[in-house]
């Protein structure tokens, strides 16, 4: 359990609910009520970290000035849609800046050793937001902005982002696909929204090999997710040797989620958290921060948040699943090895 002088920081603020959604939209303020129920159960072990608005300069390290202006102008005519899925209400610019700023400060506090680890329960989510385009409920790419802040403020040279939201984080991948200093690893349903993230997308130019896409067919659950984390994600992150790990932590691969077809349970989220916490302990002094992305079932958000915190508060040894695993997992590992084994030979071993 983290000691009192090294708390677990949590970024939680009622203002995140002021990004108002259209009626019956899945990305709605109620999502955070479910997350908060789980946070409240662990409140004795959590230290609040008040969010502040990200500065424009911090945001435009990832997004174009035109993108920032697009959001600024959209809120002037709010409520408005930026695409079929993505909306703004009157306070959305302010709230999106708060989400990005809270994520930056959480990452910095963990990187500086002021916190043992932490979780940012923010919305709107971020990983679909491209440099020049809001997308998929996302306005600013919180995790990408935080990764750049770690480099800019603290000079971190290598950061790993693990994205287990059920959707591919196209915006995060595209932000860093030419950049060997940031490893982006995603497990996601494929084919599915947003359409990107097949195995062969492995980075570009100098960044070739620093993108790992695990494109999962519908119906995968704990066995496939945990098996891939142990046998593909872990060797990739160990080889990369990051100075900090950020988790794009969506809970929409949960079995109750209405926007996907996966079957991850609370036990799966607990096991994946144990595995990533063990990586952080072994590689980077435990520096690990979770950033909320999607998750559209109240049960999934509450169980998932509870599982992540439970694992962080009770850091047992990660338990590799018994192998050799099922045929589905074996073929996923084979597809991964076909792309990456030349650069990461220990990847995918059963
Ligand atoms: Zn998602």
pLDDT tens-place string over residues 296-346: 999 999 999 999 999 999 987 666 655 555 778 889 999 999 999 999 998
Q: Which residues pair with 14 in a beta bridge?
A: none
Q: What is the pLDDT of residue 111?
A: 98
Which residues are designated catalytic? Answer: 128
CB count in 10 Å sphere of residue 220? 25
CATH number of 8-340: 3.40.800.20
Per-residue pLDDT tens for 190-223? 999 999 999 999 999 999 999 999 999 999 999 9
Q: What is the pTM of this model?
A: 0.97
Which residues lie below 8 Å from residue 270, measured CB to CB, with a gap of 6+?
Answer: 307, 308, 310, 311
Could you write out the three-class secondary structure of 196-234?
CCCCCCCCCHHHCCCEEEEEECCCCEHHHHHHHHHHHHH
313 φ, ψ to 5°? Answer: -80, -20
CA 252 to centroid of ligand 1, rounded, Å: 6
CA 229 to centroid of ligand 1, rounded, Å: 18
Looking only at the bridges linking them, the beta strands covering 80-81 and 87-88 are antiparallel
Q: What is the pLDDT of residue 318?
A: 64
Per-residue pLDDT tens for 31-75? 999 999 999 999 999 999 999 999 999 999 999 999 999 999 999
CB count in 10 Å sphere of residue 327? 8
Which residues lie below 8 Å from residue 15, measured CB to CB, with a gap of 6+?
Answer: 51, 91, 94, 95, 98
CA 88 to centroid of ligand 1, rounded, Å: 18
């Amino acid at each position: 359990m983290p000691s009192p002088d090294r708390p677990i920081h949590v970024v939680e603020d009622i203002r995140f609910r002021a990004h108002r959604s259209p009626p019956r939209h899945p990305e709605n303020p109620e999502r955070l009520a479910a997350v908060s129920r789980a946070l409240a159960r662990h409140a004795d072990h959590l230290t609040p970290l008040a969010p502040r608005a990200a500065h424009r300069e911090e945001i435009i390290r990832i997004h174009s000035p035109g993108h920032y202006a697009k959001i600024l102008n959209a809120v002037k005519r709010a409520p408005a849609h930026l695409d079929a899925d993505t909306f703004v209400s009157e306070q959305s610019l302010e709230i999106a800046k708060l989400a990005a700023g809270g994520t930056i400060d959480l990452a910095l506090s963990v990187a500086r050793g002021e916190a043992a680890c932490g979780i940012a329960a923010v919305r709107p989510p971020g990983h679909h937001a491209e440099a020049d385009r809001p997308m998929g409920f996302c306005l600013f790419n919180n995790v990408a902005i935080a990764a750049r802040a770690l480099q800019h403020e603290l000079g971190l040279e290598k950061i790993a982002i693990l994205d287990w939201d059920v959707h591919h984080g196209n915006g995060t991948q595209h932000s860093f696909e030419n950049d060997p200093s940031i490893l982006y690893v995603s497990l996601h349903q494929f084919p599915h929204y947003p359409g990107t993230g097949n195995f062969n997308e492995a980075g570009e130019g100098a960044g070739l090999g620093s993108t790992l896409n695990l494109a999962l067919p519908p119906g995968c659950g704990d066995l496939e997710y945990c098996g891939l984390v142990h046998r593909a994600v872990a060797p990739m992150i160990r080889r990369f040797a990051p100075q900090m790990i950020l988790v794009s932590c969506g809970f929409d691969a949960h079995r109750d989620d209405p926007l996907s077809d996966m079957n991850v349970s609370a036990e799966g989220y607990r096991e994946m958290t144990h595995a990533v916490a063990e990586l952080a302990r072994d590689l980077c002094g435990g520096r690990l921060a979770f950033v909320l992305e999607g998750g559209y079932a109240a049960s999934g958000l509450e169980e998932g948040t509870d599982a992540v915190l439970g694992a962080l508060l009770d850091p047992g040894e990660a338990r590799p699943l018994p192998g050799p695993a099922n045929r589905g997992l074996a073929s996923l590992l084979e597809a991964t090895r076909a792309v990456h084994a030349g650069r990461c030979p220990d990847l995918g071993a059963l």
